[in-house]
Structure 1
């Protein structure tokens, strides 16, 4: 279970790398100081956003082998890795391999030397008057990332680009990382990921490779790219949308899709990340925030908690320059400095992630919808002889729901009573929820 941090925001780094004037700010120790918080939460992995030298927000990389000077240097990251390892915490890095920043040396060589640059084949370039007529000062047109001209797309059919990405991944795995989040994986051919994955796994057999994929054929992408997982955006959307609209049928449908995916791979699950509005801001009724945590903690998958969500941080993502700032805030020096108002939600996360740790089999369980109405949902998770039943209600009234095979309350606001013939009913108060241990069906 991952605790996801966006480092540049977390440590309060300058907006632009050139603002430090060549100096190094040793700020990774700030994240190191929160590792015990990660463990108290119940997580076991640290998913780091970009930490490599970049121009601004970290996703415009200019050197994959160097730590961003706004965060620190090699000694700082080595210490962070060592401290995490001593606590049994794995670290996943964020690899931006679809594109690079314009000041990446591979692209500046193209601007300086034209078509004859040794790295010209790294990019999909279009010269204004033909490659043979190039002269200094002439800049080519090039593919970019979704219209952002400062993000220059790599040519993933170029063997040198494959070599570069393999070298970067293995370099940091050898330094102590355990896995990679592959940024904008959806925009890169799966053939590229397959080549990279095969070569990296030949040297690091246990590496965890997770791709950012927003929509499409998730299972096909994992199989063709030979990855471990992709981001489960379908489930993320269904969680907050169904809770807001009192439309549990949407969530039930998403769980059917989730179940199909589990036949091929274990998805990376989340209710918040650095690219979306905070779940506490997304939900219309704050009483349903705990429902989202219940779903994250009990559904099959590899769960990730975005730093701050466990304390009810708010923040709305906006489609403008700087529109991510509200969801990527600075964190205080110590967890004890967080507002006390967030502690009840933190404790609820602890309770539910503890349930998850005690039922580790949930990671790859089979999930089935037992019953659904507009405002209630009952589902079960089963693996071999293990089974739980989860009941959720967004109704303003108390409800009684069938909980097949349930025999004890593990967590939540419900209570059980017999229903005859080996069945059971769980009584939930308004906006209630319950996690129940159950006999196999």
Structure 2
């Protein structure tokens, strides 16, 4: 496991949406990556230490139907624009992690076009998986990503595909990227990743590489593939669902599972991304946004903030063509163009990210239940000899909760009750309140 990642907090961007690019490939070149450069100081002020970028390589539409993994999407710019982004990010102390779409390619991928013209026995056809039939137009059937005809699955047993993906990953790491998100990693055979990543790590031992995994054997996938981590969708769902339903027992189940994962790897944690409904839209009570954020930034793992969530952006993901548009909007040219309503949420993010940065051991913290009912909870977040207490109240009345060893209120609002100087026995939270408290290790 690479060490720089231990204290990382990522600001996650979907570049094509962020810069307001056209939804389909354009003629000509647009140098829009410079738009992201204009937001780097904003990311640093937020507290981020890295940028997690969505797809930036040449594609036909949304970036996940790649045409050329060695070329920046002309809607975003060219190689010079990428190099400038890396240079400016490094100047700001920000690492850049890229999105690698290696499970499938787009219909306009040149080798697919050649294979369709030459037939499934051609050399080019070996890059893909053919199903033996033909579609209604007489075109040979090929394997796809989850039934999407425009997303053509690669043949991951092909030595040519293995070599190609390895070259792509090494190329952009050589150009200054610090790591990769592996899109749809769960759909790719594990031995493929093991082979590719072994080679990549020989050249770039400090690269951070994580896989998109929605459900399944998180621990097994990490062990079998060589990725550093996977996306923690179990925890994402439990945070908003437990808060909305007033059922913190659901969250406790997920936290217990999360503790188990932390014994083996450091999951990538989040409460929003480019594929899901915005947190501010998902929560039924806007007062609870702070509760979700307090959890994200005190739980072990590598937290990511999806761009716009720190401004309480709203957006609902819909299961239809174009259904992601609401959660992938264009941003103004500079932060000064943001609406005024979101800055209080930005400051809350700054406060809690700052708290995490001041307690760098939190990346490996396990949660320990101290008090739990459906709507009230206190957890100790612990690692080595360090501890913080996180207290939540989802009820309509004040709550007095057990908080042994608690000290000063570091974030949120609470009345700490003590029997000894500086040693809490309980904490009083207001209706729908929350707090993070300093604490001594187990008591």
TM-score (normalizing by structure 1): 0.96
| Counterpart in the other structure of 2:118 | 113
- Report how far residue 395 of structure 1 moved: 0.8
Partner of 2:173, secondary structure, is helix
In the alignment, which residue of structure 2 is the partner of 1:431? 432
**Deviation sequence 1:277-336 (CA, Å, 0-9, x none):** 000000000000111111111111100000000000000000111100000000001111
Q: Confirm or deny: 8 A CA contact 1:111 1:138 kept in the other structure.
A: no
- Is the Cα contact below 8 Å between 1:48 and 1:93 reproduced in 2? yes
Q: 1:419 Cα deviation (Å)?
A: 4.7
SS at match of 2:149: strand
Alignment RMSD, CA only? 1.3
Q: Tell me the equivalent position of 2:368.
A: 368
After TM superposition, give the deviation of residue 423 of structure 1 in Å. 5.0
Distance, in Å, in 1 between the alignment partners of 2:199 and 2:287 is: 47
TM-score (norm 2): 0.95
Cα offsets for 1:233-263 (capped at 9, x unmatched): 0000001001101000001111000000000
C-alpha distance after superposition, 1:177-222 (max 9, x if no partner) = 0010000011111111111111100000011111000001111111
Contact 2:96-2:178 at 8 Å conserved across structures: yes
The aligned residue for residue 72 of structure 2 is: 67
1:10 and 2:18 aligned? yes
Q: Residues 114-263 of structure 1 correspond to what in structure 2 (within 5 A)?
A: 114-128=119-133, 139-263=139-263
Structure 2: distance between partners of 1:315 and 1:117: 45
- Matched residues in 1 for 2:243 and 2:24: separation? 38
Q: How far has the Cα of 1:404 moved from its partner?
A: 2.0
CA contact (8 A) 1:53 1:64 kept: yes
- Structure 1 residue 420: deviation in Å? 6.6
After superposing on structure 2, the runs of 4+ consecutive aligned residues of structure 1 that deviate more than 6 Å are none
Distance 1:196 1:93 in 2: 16
Instruction: Spell out, residue by residue over 1:19-68, the C-alpha distance to the aligned partner (whole angstroms, 9 max, x if none).
Output: x22x0000000011101110010110000000000010000001000000
In the superposition, relative to structure 1, how do residues 245 and 127 fare at CA in structure 2: closer, same or farther (>3 Å)? closer
Measured in 2, the distance between the counterparts of 1:165 and 1:36 equals 33
| Matched-pair contact (CA < 8 Å) for 1:252–1:377 | no
Which residue of 2 is the match for residue 81 of structure 1?
A: 86
Which shows bigger deviation, 366-375 or 50-59?
Answer: 366-375
How many Å separate the matches in 2 of 1:241 and 1:116?
Answer: 50
1:83-106 C-alpha deviation (Å, 9 max, x unpaired):
001111000000000000011012
What corresponds to 2:6 in structure 1? none
* Structure-1 separation of matches of 2:369 and 2:67: 47
Report if aligned partners of 2:278, 2:316 keep a CA contact under 8 Å in 1: yes
Structure 2: segments with no counterpart, 5+ residues: 1-8
Counterpart CA distance in 2 for 1:69 and 1:75 is 12
Offset of 1:126 from its aligned partner? 3.4
Instruction: Show the counterpart of 1:50.
Output: 55
Q: Determine if contact 1:127/1:139 at 8 Å carries over to the other structure.
A: no
**Structure 1 residue 163 displacement after superposition:** 0.7
